């Protein structure tokens, strides 16, 4: 076995590989770009090497830099993860030439499956069912159009290189073929540097079902059952599960047999996935599936296979690459329960799924769910920033249950318990998918999301009570009860009318002031220009329970920079709190006095009457909202009066008064 490996990737997959390697006692080397200098995978590895600037073309796609890092650190092998250089046969050749081991298939295997048209011709020879279509070399319009007519419309034009839906066009009638072909070619050329295409029969109700295969260098190939990846957006997977809903033993036997045959045809070694397109118009039939392509690497969704088999596929990769035989024979590979994975992204579904960069001020994932097991695969921590340079995935949430109904319930619970503040995410979209009737019954196909997009991407609304809870939290009056302290809930309460504690929100570029008063029996009054309400707030671990007129909300509050985030199940809302001291400072910068922006206690005084002070100099420290705030001089001047230390001051009471005469710059 290897003593040290380098992981040529970043994010959650790099962390995933590092965990298994460390469990096996293998040393790890991470590589990182300038943008990832403080990333989680860098912190987890035993050693880390900078390989260039943030753009991937200058870092994670620099094979020479990666190989040099491996040689420099004494790594014996390179694990590519997925994406980047993982399916680049030239990189594999370079790794081997450098005397290192590539943890994956051979360059020849990758080349054999790298181009869709050549791969399908190879599969036809191996007896693997292939979608009816044209996979030949001729690329003239007249030839392709003629083949499309022979196949029968609708047809699908597909770039022969690459993936991710790029260079792919559905054509419903012959009149649109030429325009669609030109568009597909231009996109394929731009994305992959290859504008050649193939033409296939379009399946009206397609399901995307793939089979995990594994081979070694001793001629052994096994399958680890199937995964259903039909829920897709723009040909990108959103939810994956295993086993496939509705699959029969006959269908599974046919698909897995074809997948093993495909891997054997190219002497495959390592982890790979055979992807099939399935016609589900009449359910899953063993004669209605066809080879689509092979991914010659570890898939993003491999954890669902691990959950139903109890195996570690990264460990298998390492053992096979080190020359060992497959750890288990086919008959010993278990299949237990049902697993499901969602991809949690920093993106805004209501705005066309635009990436949403930002800092993850608060990040919390569930560690357990009642309905089954939960597993989180992530490459970020609270405080990390979602960068514009890379894929905005935050995490993969994976659950396992006794059957599909338990797995569905477990995923719902896991999404409810996931807390993120600081950026917009697709969590509400994922939750809507989990709850959708068609998905719940297993009636899925690759077009489901597009058909229901409007229903699934309704912008989340702020729930009643969220704003009130944010105001109360910002006031500093809302305190969790302390065991044995009956006075905690009475903080700020006065029998003859309590002080009004001001909170100023910034909303749409405008500032709005609200006053909070404490009343008896855990009640609070909130008044402002747009509403006045009385609410009752109790601590219901780990949430607050706020009730009032038209309000009945359980939610958690967390402090974020310049604001408060309120988290209620699948809904999160952030409220920006204006700094009253900064506002007071700005407002009083030309005046002759400083006043208290809110009630508080003068903790210390650092100047005296008659002192000459400079702009920005700390004059006193005021405690308000259980925090200490430094009050500074808004301009140069001479102090005429200053409040006494330990004084309890009301809002707008005078703290400092300056003499009107300007500061004499000449002092003795």
Mind listing the pLDDT tens digit for each residue in 535-593?
999 988 889 999 999 999 999 999 888 889 999 988 889 999 886 666 655 555 446 88
Residue 497 confidence class, pLDDT cut points 50, 70, 90: low
Structure confidence at residue 190 (pLDDT): 85
Helix orientation angle between 107-114 and 116-126, rounded to the nearest 10 degrees: 100
For residue range 371-424, list pLDDT tens digits in order: 999 999 999 999 999 988 899 999 999 999 999 999 999 999 999 999 999 999
The pLDDT, as a whole number, for residue 234 is 79
Q: Which pLDDT score, from 0 to 100, does residue 582 have?
A: 62
Tell me which of 282 and 359 has the higher pLDDT. Answer: 359
Per-residue confidence (pLDDT) for residue 47, from 0 to 100: 98
Instruction: Using the CB atoms, write b or e for 399-431: b if 16+ within 10 Å.
Output: bbbeebebbbbbbbbbbebbbbbbbbbbbbbbb
* Residue 297 a catalytic site member: yes
Among 233, 252, 297, 343, the active-site one is 297
Evaluate if residue 667 carries a pLDDT over 50: no
The structure tokens listed for 515 are 């006053």
Percent of the chain with pLDDT over 90: 69
Average pLDDT of the chain to the nearest whole number: 90
Give the model's pLDDT for residue 541.
81
What mean pLDDT is predicted for residues 58-82?
98
Query: Got the DSSP string for 462-524?
Result: PPTTHHHHHHHHHHT---PPPTT-TTGGGTT--TT-PPPEEEEEEETTEEEEEEEEEETTTEE
Confidence of residue 491 (pLDDT cuts 50, 70, 90): low
Beta bridge partners of 342: 239, 397
What pLDDT score does 498 carry?
A: 60
Alpha helices in 24-140 (DSSP H): 40-44, 63-73, 89-97, 107-114, 116-126
């Amino acid at each position: 076995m290897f003593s040290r490996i380098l992981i040529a990737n970043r994010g959650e997959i790099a962390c995933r590989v590092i965990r298994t390697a460390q469990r096996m006692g293998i040393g790890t080397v991470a590589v990182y770009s300038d943008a990832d200098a403080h990333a989680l995978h860098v912190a987890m590895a035993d050693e880390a090497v900078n390989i260039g600037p943030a753009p991937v073309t200058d870092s994670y796609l620099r094979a020479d830099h990666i190989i040099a890092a491996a040689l420099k650190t004494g790594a014996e092998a390179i694990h590519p993860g997925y994406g980047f250089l993982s399916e680049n046969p030239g990189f594999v050749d370079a790794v081997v030439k450098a005397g290192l081991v590539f943890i994956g298939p051979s360059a020849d295997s990758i080349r054999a499956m790298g181009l869709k048209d050549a791969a399908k011709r190879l599969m036809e020879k191996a007896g693997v069912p292939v979608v009816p279509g044209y996979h030949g070399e001729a690329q003239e319009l007249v030839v392709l159009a003629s083949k499309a007519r022979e196949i029968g419309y609708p047809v699908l034009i597909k770039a022969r290189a690459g993936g991710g839906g790029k260079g792919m066009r559905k054509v419903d009638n012959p009149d649109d073929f030429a325009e669609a072909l030109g568009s597909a070619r231009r996109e394929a050329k731009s994305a992959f540097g290859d504008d050649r295409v193939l033409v296939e029969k379009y399946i009206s109700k397609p399901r995307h079902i793939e089979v995990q295969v594994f081979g070694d260098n001793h001629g052994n190939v096994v399958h680890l059952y199937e995964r259903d990846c039909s829920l897709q957006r723009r040909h990108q997977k959103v939810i994956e599960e295993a086993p496939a809903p509705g699959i029969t033993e006959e269908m599974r036997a046919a698909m897995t047999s074809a997948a093993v045959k495909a891997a054997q045809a190219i002497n495959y070694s390592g982890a790979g996935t055979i992807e099939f397109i399935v016609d589900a118009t009449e359910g899953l039939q063993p004669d209605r599936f066809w080879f689509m392509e092979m991914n010659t690497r570890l898939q993003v969704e491999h954890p669902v296979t691990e959950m139903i088999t109890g195996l570690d596929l990264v460990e298998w990769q390492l053992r096979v690459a080190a020359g060992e035989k497959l750890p288990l024979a086919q008959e010993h590979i278990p299949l237990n329960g049902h697993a499901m994975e969602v991809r949690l992204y920093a993106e805004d579904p209501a705005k066309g799924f635009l990436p949403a960069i930002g800092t993850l001020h608060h990040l919390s994932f569930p560690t357990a769910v009642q309905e089954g097991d939960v597993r989180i695969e992530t490459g970020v921590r609270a405080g990390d920033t979602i960068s514009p340079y890379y894929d905005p995935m935050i995490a993969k949430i994976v659950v396992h249950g006794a059957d599909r109904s338990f797995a569905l319930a477990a995923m719902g619970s896991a999404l409810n318990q996931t807390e993120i503040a600081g950026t917009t995410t697709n969590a509400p979209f994922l939750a809507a998918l989990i709850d959708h009737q068609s998905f719940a019954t297993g009636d899925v196909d690759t077009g489901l999301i597009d058909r229901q997009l409007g229903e699934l991407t309704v912008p989340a609304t702020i729930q009643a009570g969220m704003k009130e809870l944010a105001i109360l939290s910002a006031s500093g009056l809302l305190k969790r009860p302390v065991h044995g302290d009956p006075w905690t809930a009475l903080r700020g309460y006065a029998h003859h009318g309590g002080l009004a504690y001001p909170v100023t929100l910034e909303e749409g570029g405008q500032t709005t002031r609200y006053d909070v008063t404490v009343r008896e029996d855990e009640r609070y009054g909130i008044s402002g220009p747009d509403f006045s309400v009385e609410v009752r707030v109790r601590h219901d671990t780990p949430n607050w329970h706020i009730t009032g007129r038209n309000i009945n909300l359980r939610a958690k509050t967390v402090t974020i920079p310049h604001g408060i985030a309120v988290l209620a199940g699948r809904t999160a809302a952030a409220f920006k709190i204006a700094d009253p001291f900064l506002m007071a400072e700005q407002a009083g910068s030309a005046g002759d006095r400083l006043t208290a922006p809110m009630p508080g206690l003068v903790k210390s005084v650092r100047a005296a009457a008659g002192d000459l002070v400079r702009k920005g100099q700390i004059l006193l420290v005021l405690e308000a909202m259980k925090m200490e705030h430094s009050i500074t001089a808004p301009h140069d001047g001479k102090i005429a009066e200053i409040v006494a230390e330990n004084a309890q001051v009301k809002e707008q009471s005078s703290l400092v008064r300056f003499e009107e005469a300007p500061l004499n710059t000449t002092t003795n």
